[in-house]
Amino acid sequence: MSDQTVIFFLSGILTTKKVLVKIKKVMFMANTSDIRNGMIIEYKDGIWEVIEFLHVKPGKGNTFVRTKMRNVKTGQIQENNFRISEKITEVRVEKSKKQYLYRDGDFFVFMDNESFEQINIPSHVIGDLDKMLIDNTDVVMKMTSDGEILGIELPTSIEMGIVESDPSIKGNTASSSGKNAVTETGLKITVPFFIEVGDKVKIDTRNGSYLERV
């Protein structure tokens, strides 16, 4: 059983209660050729999300798949190699649209746009995406068939304000090297020299890189 804090609106009054979610996963077999970023698998009695993978063909020996995975319950990051065509167990994931509202200590608060139900998600489930969450951003929440929350998917880009940046260097405004900057969420990025504090920029959420000024 896992604890999940759910907040409900009842007759205009905000109430909170604990809901016990029984973990019952819908799974099916796959193999390493199916591995992709965001894939959820059962591995060594845990549930893991693939965050990076690479097919490796060594000079000697058999081809294998090198992965970096995140435990969706603890946030632990682990690297693991799978033999090519090795069988793996994929967890079937259901998706629903939610809106991110705000952070409350070690929890991130989301809301269902239709029912207005609010859900507190532990920070370790959000993982490294915390620096790319802006209030009122629509996301896709990933859950098992019984409602166990596995993580979120962001839109491919998001707009953020710049709160810190290195000074521009005269004569380097057209340089492709760029300068260091920090967004309102604390995300550290490299931006062109013409970007200044107070500017709003578009960020690629897949790799955290600068796209353009908006």
CATH number, position 110: 2.40.50.140
47 and 146 together in one domain: no
- The predicted structure's pLDDT at residue 10: 34
Tally the domains of the chain.
3
- The predicted structure's pLDDT at residue 16: 36
- The predicted structure's pLDDT at residue 151: 83
71 and 110 together in one domain: no
Amino acid at 207: N
144 and 197 together in one domain: no
99 and 14 together in one domain: yes
Residue ending a domain, among 115, 136, 153, is 153
Single pTM value for the model: 0.63
- Report how far residue 56's alpha carbon sits from residue 154's, in angstroms, rounded to the nearest whole number: 29
- The predicted structure's pLDDT at residue 34: 85
12 and 54 together in one domain: no
Q: How many CA atoms lie within 13 A of 85 on its CB side?
A: 2
Residue ending a domain, among 122, 153, 184, is 153
Cα dist from 75 to 20, 47, 128, 130, 171, whole Å: 21, 11, 9, 12, 44
36 and 61 together in one domain: yes
Give burial (CB, 10 Å; 0-12/13-18/19+) of 79. Answer: exposed
101 and 71 together in one domain: no
112 and 136 together in one domain: yes
Task: Tell me the CATH number at 39.
Answer: 2.30.30.30
- Which residues of the chain fall below pLDDT 50? 1-25
Give burial (CB, 10 Å; 0-12/13-18/19+) of 189. Answer: buried
> Cβ(175)–Cβ(157) under 8 Å?
no
- The predicted structure's pLDDT at residue 158: 95
109 and 143 together in one domain: yes
Give the full edge-to-edge strand order of the sheet including 157-165: 188-191, 179-183, 157-165, 200-204, 209-213
Tokens of 53: 């993978």
69 and 103 together in one domain: no
- Report how far residue 190's alpha carbon sits from residue 32's, in angstroms, rounded to the nearest whole number: 34
81 and 174 together in one domain: no
- The predicted structure's pLDDT at residue 38: 82
Rg for the chain, CA atoms, rounded: 20
- Domain that includes residue 167, residue range: 157-213
- The predicted structure's pLDDT at residue 143: 84
